[in-house]
């Protein structure tokens, strides 16, 4: 059984979807149960799309491990001043957040 995490609900598209669903519920156009089904499908679709459609790779050399956490089988790392490369282009960033979940 594959688990789908709610990681992308806090992205701009996830927040827009959540706001739209909340508005539809307030207007009595959909039920909260239907909204939950839509969010679960969103989680599944985002995970599958990223796994099968994204071809670009990012690499980084760590700067300074600022924070790390392990909660509910999910690791979260915040790295400050990393050297980030997308394909062959260096991208200046102050920090990156890495969230790692068990895929099984």
Domain that holds residue 22: 7-53
pLDDT-derived band at 1, boundaries 50, 70, 90? very low
Q: Return the pLDDT at 6.
A: 80
Element (H, E) at 66: strand 64-71
Residue closest to 66 by CA, chosen among 29, 93, 90, 37: 93
Q: What is the pTM of this model?
A: 0.66
- Please tell me whether residues 13 and 48 are part of one structural domain: yes
| Per-residue H/E/C for 77-90 | EEEECCEEEECCEE
- Please tell me whether residues 65 and 45 are part of one structural domain: no
| Tens-place pLDDT, residues 5-38 | 787 898 899 999 999 999 999 999 999 999 999 9
For residue 23, give the CATH number of its domain. Answer: 1.10.287.190
The rounded Cα 53 to chain-centroid distance in angstroms is: 15
What is the Cα–Cα distance from 74 to 10, expressed in whole angstroms? Answer: 16
pLDDT-derived band at 101, boundaries 50, 70, 90? confident
What is the Cα–Cα distance from 98 to 30, expressed in whole angstroms? Answer: 35
For residue 84, give the CATH number of its domain. Answer: 2.30.18.10
Q: Does residue 100 have a pLDDT over 60?
A: yes
| Tens-place pLDDT, residues 24-76 | 999 999 999 999 999 999 999 998 898 898 888 888 888 899 999 998 888 99
pLDDT-derived band at 2, boundaries 50, 70, 90? low
């Amino acid at each position: 059984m594959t688990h789908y995490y709610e990681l992308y609900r806090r992205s701009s598209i996830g927040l827009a979807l959540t706001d739209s669903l909340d508005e539809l519920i307030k207007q009595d156009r959909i039920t909260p149960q239907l909204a939950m089904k839509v969010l679960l499908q969103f989680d599944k679709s985002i995970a599958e799309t990223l796994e099968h459609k994204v071809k670009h790779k990012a690499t980084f050399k760590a700067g300074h491990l600022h924070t790390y956490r392990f909660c509910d089988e999910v690791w979260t790392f915040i790295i400050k001043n990393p050297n980030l490369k997308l394909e062959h282009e260096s991208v200046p960033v102050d920090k990156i957040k890495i969230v790692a979940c068990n895929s099984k």
